[in-house]
Amino acid sequence: MIYSFANDYAEGCHPSILRALAETNLIQQAGYGDDAYTKNAEKIIRELTNSDADVHMIAGGTLANLTVIGSVLRPFESVVAASTGHIYVNETGAIEATGHKVEAAPSADGKLRPADIKPFLNKVRGHHVVRTRMVYISNSTELGTVYTKQELTDLYTFCKENDLILFMDGARLPMALTAPSNDLTLADIAALTDVFYIGGTKCGALLGEAVVITNPGLKRDFKYHLKQRGALTAKGRAMGIQFDQLLRNNLIFDLAGHANRMAAKMANAFAAKGYALSIDSDTNQIFPVLSNSIIPQMQEDYGCLVWSIADEDHSVMRFITSWATPEDVVDEFVKKLSGE
Amino acid sequence: MIYSFANDYAEGCHPSILRALAETNLIQQAGYGDDAYTKNAEKIIRELTNSDADVHMIAGGTLANLTVIGSVLRPFESVVAASTGHIYVNETGAIEATGHKVEAAPSADGKLRPADIKPFLNKVRGHHVVRTRMVYISNSTELGTVYTKQELTDLYTFCKENDLILFMDGARLPMALTAPSNDLTLADIAALTDVFYIGGTKCGALLGEAVVITNPGLKRDFKYHLKQRGALTAKGRAMGIQFDQLLRNNLIFDLAGHANRMAAKMANAFAAKGYALSIDSDTNQIFPVLSNSIIPQMQEDYGCLVWSIADEDHSVMRFITSWATPEDVVDEFVKKLSGE
Amino acid sequence: MIYSFANDYAEGCHPSILRALAETNLIQQAGYGDDAYTKNAEKIIRELTNSDADVHMIAGGTLANLTVIGSVLRPFESVVAASTGHIYVNETGAIEATGHKVEAAPSADGKLRPADIKPFLNKVRGHHVVRTRMVYISNSTELGTVYTKQELTDLYTFCKENDLILFMDGARLPMALTAPSNDLTLADIAALTDVFYIGGTKCGALLGEAVVITNPGLKRDFKYHLKQRGALTAKGRAMGIQFDQLLRNNLIFDLAGHANRMAAKMANAFAAKGYALSIDSDTNQIFPVLSNSIIPQMQEDYGCLVWSIADEDHSVMRFITSWATPEDVVDEFVKKLSGE
Amino acid sequence: MIYSFANDYAEGCHPSILRALAETNLIQQAGYGDDAYTKNAEKIIRELTNSDADVHMIAGGTLANLTVIGSVLRPFESVVAASTGHIYVNETGAIEATGHKVEAAPSADGKLRPADIKPFLNKVRGHHVVRTRMVYISNSTELGTVYTKQELTDLYTFCKENDLILFMDGARLPMALTAPSNDLTLADIAALTDVFYIGGTKCGALLGEAVVITNPGLKRDFKYHLKQRGALTAKGRAMGIQFDQLLRNNLIFDLAGHANRMAAKMANAFAAKGYALSIDSDTNQIFPVLSNSIIPQMQEDYGCLVWSIADEDHSVMRFITSWATPEDVVDEFVKKLSGE
């Protein structure tokens, strides 16, 4: 295989992280997120979000999702996600294992709008059904799409009018915020959600997601939830150092922007070659519709996923780029594709 | 403060790990533990344990404990731990949050013996009480003590006679296996438990515990449990590389042995000075009984924990050393102590 | 209001039950289902099902559902229900509260067929998604429809071929088995499911559902699950006496047949009057489509439920009859309807 | 066997209940606790407790305990019970199955006092341990003892000072309130707890416990919890009618008083005969210490339980009387005992 576009966690981490790990290695630090590096990363996040948010580093996305959602909901309350949402389709029932129903709203583009959520609020049977209390969105979505400022404002307003908590899964938030069509800032995200996270794993870190809680009502006792779910890391420094590096000088956004640009190059090449793109994504995931006849060779050369069946002769494929995707590899891919 | 002996996770990781992270950084690898480094670490573990164990890397101890225990027990089954056991006293109800009762057997030295467990098996009320199905031990224990081969054999035999699963929390297993009083090998541990883990976090890694499942009945579908609990790490390589390094050339045991020796130096110094050691530990945690009058200065100079009240004038203190504790710091500590 | 057709639990219980309660009242009996009446009811059920089933009486349907499902599934396993299924829409997340995802298969008539379940088995992402392990059906369904012997045979065969447990919610099983279109016996039900229950609450009892476990693998330790879920009733006699009476001389089926006949009279009257019946039900729930203009008066005279909106001017209504619905009330209803 | 003193749920219910069930049998009523009889029982309870409490009928004690406790605690919070408490020893981990740790305070007489609870509040490890948030007591206790007004006042005051919810399991509350040593009224109980229940199952009903919530903060959404735990009974009337009867004209207390008097007669007879009573109980459970040599004959004649081993030659036995225990049976028992 020449290069894999199967996912965005195939390489290690940005070299500046490795340098920082080495430089700080023998400096003793407090455990469980009370180290100086985590504190500094938290400070940067509060500055970037223009907020007094609480920040907690968690080792992975599913662990972040189940810890956050489990901390917010009372036993009979549910969370709504898009039918494509990670918590609904790809976490082995992690949310249900905390006792809560995930309700799925059909969504063609991976995004949720107030109209998608309304049906869950009009339950007439009262205490015979779960009460919807939380909305889970991802940005960028599982389909690579991003929320506009207007869309997020509408959704957050709707949530506040209906006593709903809005939670954004930001595993690829840096890609969203650097997408060409994006008009949101990190401060907007903080102002227009109750809790969200900034993904590290897929954006230049070895591992780690930085959960940012802006709703004061959700801050209390969060470390108890972290500990109970196994999400409180003894050497919190290992994540603190990474976010401290990634958040300096815009690094994490530079890395995400690179991933987006590499994907755009590929998308353009597919389009130029006459392939449809089944979803209009301008982040690091693209979904070209390929003829089944060329897929075996494509997969031999480049790791990529058959996403869904388009018709008898065509499949929707998924290609993902990352902060680490070399531009020359992409250029060669484009050249090969054009030459075919 | 001169140096903290408050815990064994205050520094980063062994330098060879940082080197390996750098060297492998841009090599693409499969995610979720299917990378080459994890595979190699697994292979070494199977060799060291002389077994065909399944191995899974988990980011932290509590997450490992709740994932393993939650995967084994049926809803009405319970796990017995020593009254000092980490899952009973220090995990914010993480096991109960998976739906299972932790039953505590009083233990003065942190270890469990068949006689401690028997009372939980003689429940006469049948389905009106939980059924004890699992025994959780730690080695070294939370009090720094270690199991002998005879003790572990007796316990495992008892477990097998009573249809009990034996699970060893090995957050400090390398320290146990390098303690002067130890007569167990890693292969013994594998043969005399159903599932255990080799701690990385406290033994030279940035983070990570390697769960080793030898009981074939417990292997099936374990990755489903991992994913559901948020314990399946996308960049599994981050832990695989660490264990791959630590397990080569006995490194992890060398590091643990160093920690033990540093603690022994300190224990000897305390004893020489006439201080009692409240627990007979030969691993990296020691528990000297100090006069309350000297504790404030001691804590100003060296991080250490008041463990319990001994009498009106004395407290039991806990000092912990690690793979990273510099010998000259210990020597200076000893010199200061002797000179007082 | 003249009479309520809003549900089938508005009256007490069949008089023979009250007589039996009085006659046995001061006879001492063992608790927790070990009384003579429960034992006798169990014996009758084993005869009627031609099986050596285990039988357990549970106070209500939701409690039965959550206890049974929670006893069968491992943590990462899920249950599939029709999108109309009681556990999916009407139990306030009771199943999710035991930690398990309920997956909904779209169903127009409330029934599930192999083709509805297949999509849940073809998950390609392995341990990143729940594993479907159980199929929940109800008979009669929430829409009043019933399974034919061929349908149930096909479904059960499919389940066995795919290692799926088939569970039938029988809250209205007596109505199903006495429906004109039914060709199943209680013995067929036992042979073609792994576990099911015979509803008492809606079929002549004050309360109680008799859970019948025929799959030997599901029998073990069931009383532990009962106790843990709060479903083990101290005075089990209170349910045992009821089922003992209801199961003698076919009483429960006579009562269910009466309910069905009353509903059929009403359905015929609606049809004669030119109203469509939105679902083809021959049990005790019928769903006529009424003009919105007549609904207020209808609801003033007779309790009945607006089930869904048919079009701008019409609504689907639900009328339910029971074992206790007086025939003269139905006749009067029919006369009034015809005369309108 | 002449008569069983093994438990207080061996007979049916008070005849007035059977009469009321018959008289109301065919009167249609709303389901799920909205029937007229339940409403009336609730009204009586509010009068007797001089409160505006919310009242909910639940079919059994374990179901009541798990629903109440599960509704109050946040995920990381725990409940303290006496080491003899029903939720700690006799409910198959029902509370843990809702995700919460039950912490046991050693208690010789089955009662809890502030000093017993204090140790659980002084946890120094913050979010590494569960937070104690609820105190569970039973009155009468599992050992037949009762709380005095002073004791309950002290405990409630302590709870309020420490932000703890006080929950009283009243499965045998009517016996407690009619014990000779009692100085509490139902209004006192309501004023000195946050939530409690009045047992029906052991006090003249077929089944049912009336949960009384006086703390306004605990009232909200309780029916959602009921439904989710399977504790919302469709024919709520079946319990409403029973409590409606039992609470009229002091009936439930007359029945409990009878049980207590029968036990006192037996206790006096044991004492007169020189047998020690291992616990000083003046309710319907007594614990005489008998010579092992007479136990087999005793158990052949009268159902009774070996409670614990007293010494090599003696055992502590438990005898329980009920509202239904015939006085002539007790008199004969006393005569036989005296004559031996």
Q: According to the 3-state scheme, what is the secondary structure of chain B?
A: CCEECCCCCCCCCCHHHHHHHHHHCCCCCCCCCCCHHHHHHHHHHHHHHCCCCEEEEECCHHHHHHHHHHHHCCCCEEEEEECCCHHHHCCCCCCHHHCCCEEEECCCCCCCCHHHHHHHHCCCCHHHCCEEEEEEEECCCCCCCCCCHHHHHHHHHHHHHCCCEEEEECCCHHHHHCCCCCCCCHHHHHHCCCEEEEECCCCCCCCCEEEEECCHHHHCCHHHHHHHCCCCCCCCHHHHHHHHHHCHHHHHHHHHHHHHHHHHHHHHHHHHCCCCECCCCCCCEECEEEEHHHHHHHHHHEECEEEEEEECCEEEEEEECCCCCCHHHHHHHHHHHHHC
pLDDT of amino acid D295 = 95
Share of chain B above pLDDT 70, in %: 99
Write out pLDDT tens, residues D54-81: 999 999 999 999 999 999 999 999 999 9
Residues in A touching B227 (Cβ below 8 Å)? 62, 91-92, 94
Quote the radius of gyration of chain B (alpha carbons, Å).
Answer: 20
Lowest mean pLDDT among A182-186, C94-98, C122-126, D59-63: C122-126
Q: Does domain D16-249 have CATH number 3.40.640.10?
A: yes
Average confidence (pLDDT) over C225-244: 98
Interchain contact, D100 vs B92, CB within 8 Å: no
The pLDDT, as a whole number, for residue C125 is 72
If you write DSSP's letter for every residue of C93-115 in order, what string do you get? TTTGGGT-PEEEE--SSS---HH
CA distance C75 to chain A (A): 7
State how far Cα A111 lies from the chain centre: 13
Mean confidence (pLDDT) of chain A: 97
In this structure, is the dihedral angle defined by the CA atoms of residues A245, A251, A257 and A258, taken in order, positive or negative?
negative
Kindly state the percentage of chain A with pLDDT values over 70.
99
On the question of pLDDT at A327 being above 90, the answer is yes
Q: How far is CA B86 from CA B94, B104, B164, in A?
A: 10, 11, 19
Whether residues C127 and A92 touch (CB distance < 8 A) is answered with yes
Q: What is the pLDDT of residue A122?
A: 77
pLDDT of A339 reads 83
- A24-37 pLDDT, tens digit per residue, is 999 999 999 999 99
Distance CA A305, CA C119 (A): 19
Per-residue pLDDT averaged across C247-262, rounded? 97
B19: distance to nearest CA of chain D, Å?
A: 34
Determine the residue among A101, A120, A124, A308 to mutate to test chain C binding: the one whose Cβ has the most chain C Cβ atoms within 10 Å: A101
Q: Between helices D114-121 and D149-161, what is the axis angle to 10°?
A: 20
Residues 6 or more apart whose CB falls under 8 angstroms from that of C320 comprise C5, C6, C7, C8, C263, C284, C285
With bands split at pLDDT 50, 70 and 90, how would you rate the model's confidence at D340?
low
d(CA A322, CA A262) in angstroms, rounded, equals 8
Burial of C154 (0-12, 13-18, 19+ CB in 10 A): middle
**Taking CB atoms and an 8 Å cutoff, what residues of chain A touch D232?**
127
The whole-angstrom distance between A232's CA and the closest CA on chain B is 8
Q: What is the mean pLDDT of residues D121-135?
A: 89
Question: What is the reported pLDDT for A124?
Answer: 67
The model's pLDDT over A136-167, given as tens digits with 9 standing for 90+, comes to 999 999 999 999 999 999 999 999 999 999 99
Out of D127, D228, D232, closest to residue A224 by CB: D127
**How close, in Å, is residue B220 to chain D by CA atoms?**
24
pLDDT tens for B180-218 read: 999 999 999 999 999 999 999 999 999 999 999 999 999
Counting every residue written for chain B, the total comes to: 340
Q: How far apart are CA C155 and CA D41, in angstroms?
A: 47
Half-sphere exposure of C310 (CA within 13 A, CB side): 18
The pLDDT assigned to C96 comes to: 98
The confidence score (pLDDT) of residue C229 equals 98
Q: Which residue in the set A76, A99, A224 is minimally distant from D131, CB to CB?
A: A224
The full set of domain ranges for chain B reads 3-9+251-338, 16-249
The mean per-residue pLDDT over the stretch B8-16 comes to: 97
Does residue D122 surpass a pLDDT of 90?
A: no
What's the rounded mean pLDDT across residues D11-37? Answer: 97
Question: Contacts of residue D220 in chain A, CB cutoff 8 Å?
Answer: none
A154 by Cβ neighbours in 10 Å (0-12 / 13-18 / 19+) ranks as: middle
- Residue ranges of alpha helices (H) inside chain C are 15-24, 36-49, 61-72, 86-89, 114-121, 149-161, 173-177, 186-191, 216-219, 222-228, 237-246, 251-272, 295-301, 327-339
**Mean per-residue pLDDT of chain D:** 97
Place of tokens 């009811």: C41
Q: Are D338 and D12 in contact (CB under 8 A)?
A: no
Q: Answer whether residue C56 shows pLDDT above 80.
A: yes
pLDDT at D123: 72
Q: Quick one: pLDDT at residue D124?
A: 67
Residues of A in contact with C78 (CB under 8 A): 93
Determine, for residues D223 and A127 on separate chains, whether the beta-carbon distance falls below 8 Å.
Answer: yes
DSSP designation for C301: H
Is the C-alpha dihedral spanning D203, D208, D212, D213 positive or negative?
positive
Interface contact flag, C238 D206, Cβ < 8 Å: yes
Q: Say how many CA atoms lie within 13 Å of D123 toward its Cβ.
A: 19
Closest CA to A340 of A307, A291, A304: A291
- Residue C195's SS3 state is strand
Q: How confident is the model at residue A126 (pLDDT cuts 50, 70, 90)?
A: confident
Chain B contact set for D75 (CB, 8 A): 93, 97
Reply yes or no on whether the pLDDT at B303 is more than 60: yes
* CATH architecture, domain defined by D3-9+251-338: Alpha-Beta Complex (3.90)
Question: What pLDDT is attached to residue A340?
Answer: 57
Whether D101 sits inside 8 A of B100 (CB atoms) is no
- B13 chain-A contacts, CB cut-off 8 A: 21, 25
Asked if residue D107 has pLDDT above 70, the reply is yes
Percent of chain D with pLDDT over 90: 97
CB-CB neighbours of C161 under 10 Å: 9
Residues of A in contact with C96 (CB under 8 A): 78, 96, 99-101, 130
Amino acid at D285: Q
**3-state SS assignment for residue D234:** coil
Could you read off the pLDDT of B248-257 as tens digits, one per residue?
Answer: 999 999 999 9
Residue D97 and residue B75: Cβ atoms within 8 Å?
Answer: yes
Interface of chain A against chain D, CB under 8 Å?
Answer: 70-71, 74-76, 98-99, 126-128, 131, 221, 223-228, 232
D19 CB-near residues (< 8 Å, 6+ apart): none
- What whole-number distance in Å separates Cα of residue B120 and Cα of residue B114? 10
What pLDDT is stored for residue C124 in this prediction? 67
Neighbours of chain B (3+ CB pairs under 8 A): A, C, D
How far from each other are the two terminal CA atoms of chain C, in whole angstroms? 18
Pairwise CA distance, residues D114 & D120, whole Å: 10
Reported as a single tens digit per residue, the pLDDT across A48-90 is: 999 999 999 999 999 999 999 999 999 999 999 999 999 999 9
Distance from CA of D91 to the nearest CA of B (A): 5
Chains with at least 3 CB pairs less than 8 angstroms from chain A: B, C, D
Among candidates A90, A93, A129 on the partner chain, residue whose Cβ is nearest the Cβ of C92:
A129
pLDDT in tens, B55-82: 999 999 999 999 999 999 999 999 999 9
User: Comparing C3-9+251-338 with C16-249, is the CATH topology the same?
Assistant: no
pLDDT over 70 (residue C340): no
Q: Give the integer Cα–Cα distance in Å for A175 and A167.
A: 18
Mean pLDDT, residues D200-205 taken together: 98
Whether C107 contacts C84, CB under 8 Å: yes
pLDDT of residue C258: 98
pTM: 0.97
Of C78, C89, C93, Cβ closest to residue A76: C93
Convert the pLDDT of each residue in B115-155 to its tens digit. 999 999 977 678 999 999 999 999 999 999 999 999 999 99
Contact D59 C61 (CB under 8 A): no
Contact D60 C59 (CB under 8 A): yes
